[in-house]
């Protein structure tokens, strides 16, 4: 089945762990994931500066590995990202910021990507709403 | 992978889908309400069949005369009153949720159809996709 995920919760939330676990198991079971759209506080997943505790599960790194393995389309909402300080090099230049922090495995894009994922996938599963 | 899990073409072709956006949280405590409305506008721009459903504490988003400036927040009413200009006409609220909070239509900033729990269940069931905020 073709699935997409919408994640609205930050990496510190249990809902985000559930989202990752769901994605991983769905992929292992042979389903495909068309897109993972990070919206609202979910965009915090995009920060490459997150450091989890040594004895803690590294959710950001786990998504990175899953992305490498399955070539996932991980998209963070650009408007929600800008508001929360999640920006890539292009946006850093546009808004004249000295820094950027979006991980390489992520992409910033508009809400149209969420609508596209909704229409294209057989199921869209929301986490953290 | 069994056949039952294979993709169903009729569901995946790029056509219009019935999308329900469900508002379940009070405004201003976080940014969910604003961003849900942004998602609603985007959905309608892309020509999808959209239904907005306010339930639970989400009905508080509909309250009129919100003086959000006092807490340095953008007013939600402006976004709500813009819905009709985007041809978003299917706006429903859970009657039970309104009653529980003693809200009546004249307390609300926009016209919504207040529906009974059974109708609400039916409405949710009719949607191809639900986005919950």
B92-129: pLDDT as tens digits: 999 999 999 999 999 999 999 999 999 999 999 999 99
Q: State residue A129's pLDDT score.
A: 74
Task: Report CB contact under 8 Å: A41, B30.
Answer: yes
Distances (CA, A) of A62 to A18, A20, A49, A57, B29: 13, 8, 15, 8, 30
Task: Report CB contact under 8 Å: B131, A6.
Answer: yes
Q: B3 lies in a domain?
A: no
For residue A129, give the nearest of B8, B16, B133 by CB distance. B133
Q: B52 lies in a domain?
A: yes
Q: Which of A31-35, A88-92, A107-111, B6-10 has the lowest mean pLDDT?
A: B6-10
Q: State residue B14's pLDDT score.
A: 58
Q: How would you class A32 by CB atoms within 10 Å of its CB: exposed for 0-12, middle for 13-18, buried for 19 or more?
A: middle
Domain ranges of chain A: 2-127
Q: State residue A64's pLDDT score.
A: 96
Q: State residue B47's pLDDT score.
A: 86
Q: Whole-number mean pLDDT of chain A?
A: 96
Interface test with B, best of A42, A122, A128 (most B CBs within 10 A): A122
Q: State residue B1's pLDDT score.
A: 38
Confidence of residue A58 (pLDDT cuts 50, 70, 90): very high
Q: How far apart are CA B43 and CA B20, in angstroms?
A: 10
Average pLDDT of B45-70?
Answer: 94
Q: State residue B4's pLDDT score.
A: 41
Q: Which residues of A are catalytic?
A: 77
- The answer to whether the CB of A78 falls within 8 A of the CB of A39 is no
Q: B5 lies in a domain?
A: no
Q: Which CATH architecture has domain A2-127?
A: 3-Layer(aba) Sandwich (3.40)
One-character DSSP codes across B20-49: EEEE-S-SSSSSHHHHHHHHHHHHHHTT-E
Distance from CA of A119 to the nearest CA of B (A): 6
- Judging contacts by C-beta atoms under 8 Å, the chain B residues touching residue A40 are 30-32, 35, 133
Rg (CA), chain A: 14
pLDDT over 80 at B3, yes or no? no
Structural domain of B82: 16-132
Confidence of residue A82 (pLDDT cuts 50, 70, 90): very high
Q: B104 lies in a domain?
A: yes
Q: How far apart are CA B48 and CA A3, in angstroms?
A: 19
Instruction: State the total domains in chain B.
Output: 1
Q: B4 lies in a domain?
A: no
A125, β-bridge pairs: A5
Distance from CA of B129 to the nearest CA of A (A): 7
- Strand (E) or helix (H) holding B131: strand B129-132
Task: Report CB contact under 8 Å: B1, A30.
Answer: yes
- Judging contacts by C-beta atoms under 8 Å, the chain A residues touching residue B130 are 126
Task: Report CB contact under 8 Å: B32, A31.
Answer: no
Interface test with B, best of A15, A40, A79, A116 (most B CBs within 10 A): A40
Task: Report CB contact under 8 Å: B32, A8.
Answer: yes
> Could you say which DSSP state residue B121 is in?
H
Give per-residue pLDDT as tens, B9-54.
Answer: 444 445 789 999 999 999 998 889 999 999 999 999 988 999 999 9
pLDDT over 70 at B7, yes or no? no
Q: B65 lies in a domain?
A: yes
Task: Report CB contact under 8 Å: A119, B17.
Answer: yes
Q: Is B55 on the interface with A (CB under 8 A)?
A: no
């Amino acid at each position: 089945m073709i699935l997409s995920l919408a994640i609205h919760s930050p990496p510190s939330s249990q809902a985000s762990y559930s989202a990752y676990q769901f994605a991983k198991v769905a992929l292992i079971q042979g389903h495909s994931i068309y897109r993972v759209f990070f919206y609202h506080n979910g965009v915090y997943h995009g920060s490459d500066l997150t450091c989890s505790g040594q004895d803690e599960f590294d959710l950001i790194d786990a998504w990175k590995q899953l992305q490498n393995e399955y070539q996932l389309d991980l998209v963070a909402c650009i408007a929600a990202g800008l508001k929360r300080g999640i920006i890539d090099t292009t946006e850093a230049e546009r808004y004249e910021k000295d820094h950027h922090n979006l991980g390489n495995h992520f992409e910033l894009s508009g809400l149209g990507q969420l609508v596209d994922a909704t229409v294209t996938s057989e199921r869209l599963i929301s986490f953290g709403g | 992978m069994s056949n039952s899990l294979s993709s169903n073409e009729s569901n995946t072709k790029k056509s219009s889908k019935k999308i329900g956006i469900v508002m379940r949280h009070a405004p201003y405590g976080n940014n969910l309400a604003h961003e849900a409305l942004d998602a609603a506008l985007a959905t309608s721009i892309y020509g999808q069949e959209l239904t907005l459903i306010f339930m639970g504490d989400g009905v508080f988003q509909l309250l009129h005369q919100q003086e959000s400036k006092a807490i340095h927040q953008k007013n939600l009413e402006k976004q709500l009153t813009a819905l009709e200009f985007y041809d978003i006409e299917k706006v429903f609220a859970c009657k039970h949720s309104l009653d529980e909070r003693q809200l009546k239509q004249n307390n609300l900033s926009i016209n919504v159809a207040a529906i009974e729990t059974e109708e609400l269940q039916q409405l949710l069931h009719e949607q191809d996709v639900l986005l919950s905020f």
